[in-house]
Amino acid sequence: MSPSSVDNTYLEVAPDAVILVAADGTIEYANPQALVLFGSADGSTEATMAGRSVDEFVPSESRPAHRAFRSQYVENPTTRLMGSPASVLLARRADGTVFPCEIGLSPVAAPSEHQLTMAIVRDITSRRVADRHTQMIRSSLDAVDDGVLIFDDESLVIRYANHGAVLQTGRPVRDLIDDMTLLDLVPDLGAGELRSLLAPVASGASEAVTVTAAFANPNGDEVAVEMSIQHPPAATHDGHGHYVAIARDITERRDAERYLRASEAGFRSAFTDAPVGMLITDPGVDGLPHILEANQEFCEMLGYAPGELQGRSVAEITHPDDQARGEQIAAWEGPGATVVEKRFIHRSGQVRWCREHSADLNTVAGQRRRLAHVIDITRRVMAESARDHREDTLVALGDIRRRLLDEQPVPDALADITDAAVRLAGGQSGHVLVPRHGGYELAAAASAREVSVVSVAQLVECPLADRVLLGGRTIQTAQAELSVDDLPFEIGPGAVIAAPLITREAVEGVMVVTGVDPDQAHLLRRTVESLAGEAALAIQLARSRRERRRLTIVEDRDRIARDLHDVVIQRLFAAGMRLQSAAMSGTNLRGRVIETVSELDETIGTIRDTIFRLTRSEPDLHDEIVMLAHGFETPAGRPIDIDVASDVASVSDRVGEQLLPTVNELLSNAARHSNATRIALNVRHDSEGALVVVVSDDGDGFDEDEPKGFGIGSVTARATQLGGTVAIASHPGEGTTVTWRVPPR
């Protein structure tokens, strides 16, 4: 049936497929677009539809629902879409393919007055794909935490809001879209100000602008946001452009920034007004710390004005001996705190001992920074140093005093005392000068490297010593203040301390120590004076011993004279009287003569004994060595094993003078320090005629590379003076053997 009441021309040119269906489902008419739509999927074949049941163009699984829709429509024929809004209608082409469609129904009066229904069918495959894509985009936008708003570029009316925007604004979507503008959400921004902010993206001069604002929620709360707003060219609706705003909640960041600003203000106050020195440093181009900022306390500690240290390397104000230490490099190779005691240099050049505690600050733009707390510990370090120095001085004085009591030869004692003065004062050289014959005898000398035992008197002139003797007190001066004639020897830089050798009776000489640290000279002066006193004591003891020996000789002579007077002379007188009496009496002459001769023989013996005592020398060198060795024993109380050749006494006086002190020193060291159970002494001449002294023990031993004490240095000096050598063989736990070898003459 052809449509008589419907404009045939309209149906033929209609853009959608149009079919007329009778109440029983028979197709009465189909326009060309319907024939194409229901033909093949590629449009190459048109369908034949008139006279056929509409069910043939519905998929079999959808036919029951389609018939139900058709029956309902026949009962109530009105213009409407087929099915419910949620219904998905499907159609079937002639080739069997299925496609989604949208069907609009409208009743039509036919000439036969039978009711017809006009169905306008539209393929919505593309629209459904677009809907799915749109839904996917919406779901994605709703899944992000940031708010997304799309608003008209003229009216600023919001056209789209995602779930994030709903949460940020506290309003449902229905209240936002088409009812509110962006100005309603950010009332603090005026229209003119907002337009001014949006102008760069509206004109295309900028791709995006950032606007920081606060969304006003219905409950009165505010949510701080940072909006990045763009104006995409394709965002048009009804010919209008749109802005796309992505809003990020920055409430936590804003609170953190406020807290950071408050913390920085507090830190700044604590840093600036701190009662201890503080530094902020970062690694410079050389990788070592450079000062970004130093507080007032640190600047005052080192004598600088505020800001004067900024930008300078920490190494510039660090003592040279501490610059090569590992703390600076370690501080930048790994995180964490470091604590170190180091020396800074005051602007005046003085040394400040400090305790530095440094730790990483928060990284700024990838740049590491460190905060250092610096406490001045100079007084503590100086007190500890003075304590240690006093202890070392007392130990040295005790050792020197013991050697003096052991009757150490004066040259050796003066050499040991001078070496101790140089070592304890940290000087470069030391000398002992004793006044002799209008000049000074150089009695002993020592340097920081070796001890010199002066055995031959050397007369020199020393104006500095003259001034010390004249004033009777110590002179402390700088090397630069002395002329080349003030001292008879060369001196290096540093302070010079010249102390008198004072005894109760007189000033015995002068001790001069050079190269002393000028900053410590006033503290070390007392040490030099103490050791000068020991040198004076050594000279005085030597004089007392010589006087004691002289008095002993005088006493012996007095005793012998008394013996001669009281015994010998009386016997001779008695013998003479007997001879005289015998001559006068003439009787018993033989008996009296024999008795007198016997008394004369006894008197002669007495005279011989007296002469022997007068002419007898001191015990020979062999006996003296044996007697000396008998005075030592091991820590366990075992006597020393003694083996002294009888021909030892044949050595020259020059060698003999050094032999007894050497044996005494070697046995003393072994007895006091070895912790041995056996000590042996062997003195002999070897095959080449050289005198050899060997002292061995089975004690603890030591590392041969360890520094040697005064005793070994003195023994070595004696051997060197005589053209000999000293060999030491020792290992920890294996005992020690010292061999002293010198020519016999």
> CB neighbours of 607 closer than 8 A, spacing ≥ 6?
564, 568
> CB neighbours of 212 closer than 8 A, spacing ≥ 6?
224, 225, 226, 227, 250
Please state the φ and ψ torsions of residue 182, each to the nearest 5 degrees: -60, -30
For residue 726, what pLDDT is reported?
92
Which tokens go with 35?
A: 């024939």
Could you read off the pLDDT of 232-290 as tens digits, one per residue? 876 555 567 889 999 998 888 888 888 888 877 777 777 888 888 888 888 776 667 88
Nearest to 544 by CA among 502, 505, 507, 511: 505
Residue 426 exposed, middle or buried by CB count within 10 Å (0-12, 13-18, 19+): middle
Rounded Cα distance, 663 and 644, in Å? 11
Dump the DSSP string for 367-393.
B--EEEEEEE-HHHHHHHHHHHHHHHH
Rounded Cα distance, 518 and 513, in Å? 12
The type of residue at 35 is L
Rounded Cα distance, 194 and 491, in Å? 84
Nearest to 292 by CA among 281, 305, 284: 281
Alpha-carbon separation of residue 363 from 253, 285, 288, 721 (angstroms)? 18, 17, 17, 68
Neighbours of 188 (CB within 10 A): 10
Neighbours of 140 (CB within 10 A): 11
Extended strands (E) in 305-454: 338-345, 351-360, 370-376, 429-436, 439-447, 451-452
For residue 439, what pLDDT is reported?
81
The type of residue at 94 is A
Write down the H helix ranges in 14-124.
Answer: 32-37, 63-75
Instruction: Name the strand (E) or helix (H) holding 301.
Output: helix 296-302
Rounded Cα distance, 338 and 327, in Å? 8
HSE on the CB side for 337, CA within 13 Å?
Answer: 5
Q: Which of 95-109, 253-267, 510-524, 677-691 has the lowest mean pLDDT?
A: 253-267
Residues across the chain:
745
Rounded Cα distance, 54 and 161, in Å? 44
Q: Are 103 and 124 contacting, i.e. CB atoms less than 8 angstroms apart?
A: no
Could you read off the pLDDT of 390-418 as tens digits, one per residue? 888 888 888 887 877 777 777 788 888 88
For residue 586, what pLDDT is reported?
56
Please state, rounded to an integer, the average pLDDT across all residues of the chain: 81
For residue 358, what pLDDT is reported?
85
Give the model's confidence band at 680: pLDDT under 50 very low, under 70 low, under 90 confident, else very high. Answer: very high
Alpha-carbon separation of residue 496 from 50, 349, 514 (angstroms)? 133, 20, 4
Which tokens go with 162?
A: 């995602």
Query: Where is pLDDT greater, at 84 or 582?
Result: 84
Using the Cα atoms of residue 273, residue 278, residue 280 and residue 286 in order, give the sign of their dihedral.
positive
Give the model's confidence band at 99: pLDDT under 50 very low, under 70 low, under 90 confident, else very high. Answer: very high
Neighbours of 237 (CB within 10 A): 11
The type of residue at 416 is D
Rounded Cα distance, 288 and 286, in Å? 6
In sequence order, the β-bridge partners of residue 435 are 440
Share of the chain above pLDDT 90, in %: 13
Q: Are 668 and 715 contacting, i.e. CB atoms less than 8 angstroms apart?
A: no
Which tokens go with 405?
A: 């009591």
Please state the φ and ψ torsions of residue 211, each to the nearest 5 degrees: -125, 125
In sequence order, the β-bridge partners of residue 633 are 639
Could you read off the pLDDT of 497-510 as tens digits, one per residue? 999 998 877 788 89
Contacts 24+ apart (CB under 8 A), 270-274: 271/295, 272/296
Could you read off the pLDDT of 10-67 as tens digits, one per residue? 788 888 899 999 888 899 889 989 998 898 666 666 778 888 999 999 999 989 988 8
For residue 413, what pLDDT is reported?
82
Encode 243-268 in three state secondary structure: EEEEEEECHHHHHHHHHHHHHHHHHH
Using the Cα atoms of residue 582, residue 584, residue 586 and residue 587 in order, give the sign of their dihedral.
negative
Rounded Cα distance, 660 and 718, in Å? 11
What is the average pLDDT across 415-423? 88
Q: Are 69 and 104 contacting, i.e. CB atoms less than 8 angstroms apart?
A: no
Which three-class secondary structure state does DSSP give residue 569? helix
pLDDT over 50 at 457, yes or no: no
For residue 650, what pLDDT is reported?
74
Which tokens go with 353?
A: 């001992």
Q: Are 5 and 28 contacting, i.e. CB atoms less than 8 angstroms apart?
A: no
Which three-class secondary structure state does DSSP give residue 399? helix
For residue 513, what pLDDT is reported?
92
Rounded Cα distance, 556 and 436, in Å? 32
Alpha-carbon separation of residue 578 from 581, 588, 597 (angstroms)? 5, 12, 10
Could you read off the pLDDT of 136-156 as tens digits, one per residue? 877 777 778 888 888 888 888
Rounded Cα distance, 144 and 141, in Å? 6
pLDDT over 70 at 582, yes or no: no
Q: Which of 61-75, 191-205, 588-602 has the lowest mean pLDDT?
A: 588-602
Q: Are 94 and 40 contacting, i.e. CB atoms less than 8 angstroms apart?
A: yes
pLDDT over 80 at 205, yes or no: yes
Q: Are 692 and 685 contacting, i.e. CB atoms less than 8 angstroms apart?
A: yes
- Rounded to 5°, angle at Cα 52 from 46 and 54: 90
Query: Where is pLDDT greater, at 587 or 598?
Result: 598
Which tokens go with 236?
A: 């048009």
Rounded Cα distance, 627 and 644, in Å? 11
Nearest to 712 by CA among 412, 396, 397, 430: 412
Residue 698 exposed, middle or buried by CB count within 10 Å (0-12, 13-18, 19+): middle
Query: Where is pLDDT greater, at 654 or 675?
Result: 675
For residue 689, what pLDDT is reported?
82
